[in-house]
Amino acid sequence: MLRARQPLLFLGLALLASCDGGVRVQRQGDPCTDSLVTLRVEVLDAQGATVKDATVTATNVDTGHTITSTTSDRGVTTAVNEDIGEGTVRLTATAGSKVSAPAEVHWTCDDCHCHPEPATVQLQLHP
């Protein structure tokens, strides 16, 4: 009886060897959560130099959801991300008594992520 199974065993091994990449496994989790899409915000002083430790505030005008961050040594923050939600987001920067004019970014969302337009914003502080 063992001899009768040997041809089937070899046939099974031959079929397995002909697979194009082996066993397929369904990944658990959501591929849409790999990383958040961020907005690059640069803060400049009145002379055009970058400003370290400026406070950047982003507010979704429809929902009121706000993200606040501080610029790096290079005057940049990428803390404003797609968690802010779809729609128009108003951005401002402050450093001491200096304030920027507001800028607006529009976030649109697909099935996985939200994307800002424009993807980069410069805010200039005024006395």
Summarize pLDDT for 76-91 with one digit per residue, the tens: 999 999 999 999 999 9
Examine the pLDDT at 14 and tell me if it is beyond 80.
no
The per-residue pLDDT for 4 is 56
Which three-class secondary structure state does DSSP give residue 10?
Answer: helix
Dig out the tokens for 24 from the structure.
């397929």
Whether residue 126 contacts residue 98, with contact meaning beta carbons closer than 8 Å, is answered with yes
Mean pLDDT over the full length of the chain: 85
Rounded Cα gap, residues 55 and 40, in angstroms: 14
pLDDT of residue 24: 47
Radius of gyration of the chain (CA): 26
60-119 residue pLDDT tens: 999 999 999 999 999 999 999 999 999 999 999 999 999 999 999 999 999 899 999 999
Alpha helices in 1-127 (DSSP H): 2-17
Task: Say what the pLDDT of residue 7 is.
Answer: 55
Please give the pLDDT value at position 21.
47
Q: Which CATH class is domain 50-126?
A: mainly beta
d(CA 94, CA 58): 12
Concatenate the DSSP letters of all residues of 32-62 into one string.
GGS---B-EEEEE-TTS-B-TT-EEEEEETT
CA–CA distance from 32 to each of 11, 13, 18, 26, 109 (Å)?
Answer: 41, 37, 33, 15, 12
